Amino acid sequence: MFALQKTAPAPGFTPTHDAPVPEPGAGEVLVAVTRAGVCGTDKGIYEWAPWTAGHVTLGTTVGHEFVGRVAAVGDAVTRVRVGERVSGEGHFACGSCQACRTGHSHVCQEVRILGAGVDGCFADYVVLPEANVWPVHDAIPDDVAAILDPIGNAMHTVMTAGVAGRSVVVTGAGVIGAIAIAIARAAGAGTIIATDVSPRRLDLALEMGADHVLPGADPEWPEQARRLVDGGPDVLLEMSGNPTAIGQGLSSLRCGGTAALLGVPTRPVEIDLLNDVVFKGLTIHGVFGRRMFETWYQVENFLLGGRLRLDPVISHRIPLQDYDRAFQLMSSGEAMKIVLVVDADAA
């Protein structure tokens, strides 16, 4: 089969037409991939960013966002059927650590990650445990089904913060930030403010439901946010991972506010803990991945309820074999969300 692999600690992927089609073992499902989403993590692996060395196994097939059709099932599979359209949770939890056994499998101590340490979905076929397979409702189109993973990240962040009836500031209006804006609006948030350094992303933020946008390069934006909502926003949804934006976002919040941090910094972050957290009585939540599988049900319900319009975030559909162009578009800032077409005939 065709597959994209990470074979060297250097930029780029290695395409191959000779990768063996994986065999589903007991309790496993083989999926013929039809669409795959490209995200910032994939970009980091493609560029061999500094964090990748400790998290990516060389020789692994990359990619973790997908939709496809079940091609085969292994022994002891009881729920999934051949021919079913499915997506899947890319975090493989151990099921036996304390986190898993107390309802926190999204932060499993022994987690294995699709497309990093486990062969992923930038390929004709991918194998995953039946427990990780998510049947996709007929009403959800393939392009959206291919990106349920990042929609889930945004949903987890918004639901953790509790935005209903509260004013919100979103730092970082990239793909996941833009989706979070749409979710927050659908979940009953009050005034929504978005910040970013990119005018294009600020335009997208408005299209997705933000009431106000502020230039992230302006050091005075936290004060502007406090003027827009008297005393400051109630909630920070931090999606950028930028150290400056994180500090500014915390400083913009009103006393007693809530911060949900999803963005991944590339270096340690210094914040004014005393003045911006302790004296203000802030509640800070670290957000990782998706709650398995509470978040997946929430995403499905929002989508089927017609509450989310996500077409604006999908900017390109590109054949998998043209993957270099996809990553060039991401690096240039020209693309938002890219969906790779793996098998157009099967979609």
State the burial class of residue 135 (Cβ atoms within 10 Å of its Cβ: 0-12, 13-18, 19+).
middle
Query: For residue 300, is it within any domain?
Result: no
> Could you tell me if 163 and 185 lie in one domain?
yes
Crossing angle of helices 221-228/243-252, nearest 10°? 30
Query: For residue 167, is it within any domain?
Result: yes
Question: How many domains does the chain divide into?
Answer: 2
> Could you tell me if 142 and 164 lie in one domain?
no
Show the domain range for 228.
155-286
> Could you tell me if 97 and 181 lie in one domain?
no
Contact 136, 80 (CB under 8 A): no
> Could you tell me if 129 and 217 lie in one domain?
no
> Could you tell me if 140 and 240 lie in one domain?
no
Per-residue model confidence (pLDDT) at position 51: 84
Query: For residue 294, is it within any domain?
Result: no
Query: For residue 332, is it within any domain?
Result: yes
- Taking only the tens of pLDDT, the chain with its 347 residues reads 999 999 999 999 999 999 999 999 999 999 999 999 999 999 999 999 888 888 899 999 999 999 999 999 999 999 999 999 999 999 999 999 999 999 999 999 999 999 999 999 999 999 999 999 999 999 999 999 999 999 999 999 999 999 999 999 999 999 999 999 999 999 999 999 999 999 999 999 999 999 999 999 999 999 999 999 999 999 999 999 999 999 999 999 999 999 999 999 888 999 999 999 999 999 999 999 999 999 999 999 999 998 898 999 999 999 999 999 999 999 998 999 999 999 855 44
> Could you tell me if 19 and 103 lie in one domain?
yes
**What's the rounded Cα separation, in Å, for the pair 157 and 203?**
22
> Could you tell me if 17 and 38 lie in one domain?
yes
> Could you tell me if 166 and 282 lie in one domain?
yes
> Could you tell me if 182 and 246 lie in one domain?
yes
Per-residue model confidence (pLDDT) at position 347: 45
Query: For residue 235, is it within any domain?
Result: yes
Domain containing 161 — which CATH number? Answer: 3.40.50.720
Query: For residue 303, is it within any domain?
Result: no
> Could you tell me if 102 and 182 lie in one domain?
no
> Could you tell me if 131 and 220 lie in one domain?
no
> Could you tell me if 215 and 231 lie in one domain?
yes
Query: For residue 275, is it within any domain?
Result: yes
Query: For residue 346, is it within any domain?
Result: no
Per-residue model confidence (pLDDT) at position 344: 54
Domain containing 46 — which CATH number? Answer: 3.90.180.10
